[in-house]
A and B are shown apart, each in its own frame.
Chain A
Amino acid sequence: MTIPDLFFHNLPMTAVPPDWPGGYWWHWLFFTVILIGFVLIMIMGATWIERRGLARLQSRLGPNRAGPFGLLQPIADGIKVMLKENIVPDKADKLVHWLAPVITFVPVFLIFAVVPFQDGALLADLNIGILYVVAISSVATVGVFMAGWGSSNKYSLLGAMRNVAAVVSYEIPLVLAVVGVVLMAGSMSLNQIVVGQDIPYILLQPLGFLLFFAAGCAEINRSPFDLMEAEQELVAGFHTEYSGMKFAMFFLVEWGEAIALSALITTLFLSGWRGPLLPPWLWFILKTLVVFFVMVWTRGTLPRVRIDQLMALAWKFLFPLALINLFITAIQILVWPAANQWVLVVINIAIMIILVVLWSKLFFKLGWGRVEV
């Protein structure tokens, strides 16, 4: 499929694939069960990959006692955390404190509703797919805020404030990077975006990919942007006052968001479930895990940034580049709608290299500025 001549082609969108046996509710039940199972198992796998991989990157062994290669460690952790005492601070706003993990937890699961595992194999093929993801994921911020406020602990509150500052700033380059992909695909439905990717958009939108990856990591507060739970400064950030199962919920959210981001990067930039030989859902899971591993890798490699650097990176580096990327993509689609895709790949990669080098050498360096906060 070439880049469409018009921005959006009118594709018929149905909530249920036509060949689906049974009605809407069976579809709903089936995919809800599948999704919950998928997310929980992926989170367990992700924690294992993260802890073992990080240990490997830091020349240590990591958890290796429970089961072969420590594979049962996530289950052991789960049991431990469920048996722990649930402590609520005396001065906490009890209701808010209790609701916060739930409100943070739900949006992460809702994101997976529009992520396709195979052609048409998704809970709801919304024609506003990616916009839905962006909107839903912004609800989690409210939950983090509730946790920070409800705990009545200054470290929690500071962590929540940092989180909000980061999320609000990084949402802009994130969304602008997505817009580039939407322009290329001509649709906001994640399934259509995958169907349209004969060449993975990581090649057609290399700058968009880098921006999305960096902004996404900041958005979900992964290292090197995990300021809101910087242990040396804030104990554990917004979930300092949480224990037992409520802490486990935040823990699940953290890795669930990482998996969601990996799945979104896979869908938007790595042509989702498409691939030779293996079944599509396996391709999807493999790609997701590879992206997740790259996130673990960056965490093991890069030092944490300061809060002023975090803000500066968003506004002085990612934001202008995201605008330029959007501008270039729009020109390419409007002026050369029938251009050879591989020529565009070469041009876009060249543009990416030039822009990133220019910005990092001439306009903005992370180590530069004085401390302003």
Chain B
Amino acid sequence: MGLAAAFWIMAVVAVIAALGVVFLRNVFRAALALVLCFITVAGLYITLSADFLAAVQILVYVGAISVLIILAIMMTREVQQGSPANRMKIPAFIVAAVLLGIMIYTVTQTPWQIAPESPLSPTTVPLATKLFSESGFILPVEIAATLILAAILGAIVIAREK
């Protein structure tokens, strides 16, 4: 009961916030709506008993990515007007509508498997063993870390003053 109520509140707020991101003219406010959307998604993770994922969602998306987005917005001019609609309006609408239709069709038609077991109560330990143990995903994790490091170095090289 409580869980269902929490889910519906989160879901409705998430959808409204997501619509706000698209429809708000003021880009800064759109970014704030995006932050709200991220937070509600973290709340949804909690209702799915993925507490670690929820905390990481807040930490990475609210704490880091949205701050990055806001910083980028501050570098842009004419924030109040936002991006005015141009003649690509109708094609963009058609593409978005088709994509939405496909996604709704896929989500509703797929026979989703539901695991019979109850969710793990501390998720941190199994997650850590899965990611870092020898039989787990240690190699992809390390490769991703190296890739990110390379990307950061590349960004520094590009941004550095001559």
Contact = CB atoms under 8 A, between A and B. Distances in A.
B32 interface: yes
Interface in A135-176: 135-136, 138-139, 141-142, 145-146, 149, 157, 161, 164, 168, 171
A7 B74 contact: no
Given A131-B52, A149-B28, A164 B124 contact: no
B52 A139 contact: no
A8 B126 CA distance: 10
A127 B122 contact: yes
A142 B59 contact: no
B67 A149 contact: no
Interface string A265-277: 0000000000000
Nearest to A189: B122
Interface string B114-144: 0000000110110010000000000000000
B67 A142 contact: yes
A157 B124 contact: no
For the complex, would chain B's binding face be called helix, strand, loop or mixed by DSSP majority? helix
A131 B122 contact: no
A87 B67 CA distance: 27
A164 B67 contact: yes
B32 A96 contact: yes
A253 to B, nearest CB: 17
Contact of B35 (A10, A12, A142): A142
A277 to B, nearest CB: 35
B51 A141 contact: no
B146 interface: no
Contacts of B122: 8, 10-11, 13, 127
A38 to B, nearest CB: 24
Nearest to A164: B67
A135 B32 contact: no
A8 B128 contact: yes
Nearest to A99: B32
Interface string A1-41: 00000011011110000000000000000000000000000
A53 B26 CA distance: 46
Given A128-B52, A139-B63, A145 B70 contact: yes
With most chain B CB atoms within 10 A of its CB, the pick from A10, A128, A161 is A128
A135 B125 contact: no
B67 A145 contact: yes
B149 interface: no
A188 interface: yes
A62 to B, nearest CB: 37
B157 to A, nearest CB: 17
A134 interface: yes
A157 B75 CA distance: 12
B28 A138 contact: no
A179 B115 CA distance: 33
Contacts of B71: 161, 164
A10 B39 CA distance: 28
A365 to B, nearest CB: 24
B47 interface: no
Contacts of A138: 58-59, 62-64
A132 interface: yes
Interface in A92-124: 93, 95-96
Contacts of A168: 64, 67
A7 B62 contact: no
A13 B55 contact: no
Contacts of A142: 32, 35, 62, 66-67, 70
A126 B122 CA distance: 9
With most chain B CB atoms within 10 A of its CB, the pick from A134, A136, A141, A142 is A142
A141 B63 contact: yes
Given A127-B122, A146-B32, 17 more contacts: A8-B128, A10-B125, A12-B121, A93-B29, A95-B29, A131-B55, A131-B56, A131-B59, A135-B58, A135-B63, A139-B58, A142-B67, A145-B67, A145-B70, A149-B70, A161-B74, A164-B71
Interface of A: 7-8, 10-13, 93, 95-96, 126-128, 131-132, 134-136, 138-139, 141-142, 145-146, 149, 157, 161, 164, 168, 171, 188
15 contacts: A8-B122, A8-B124, A95-B29, A126-B51, A128-B55, A138-B58, A139-B39, A139-B62, A142-B32, A142-B66, A149-B28, A149-B70, A161-B71, A168-B67, A171-B63
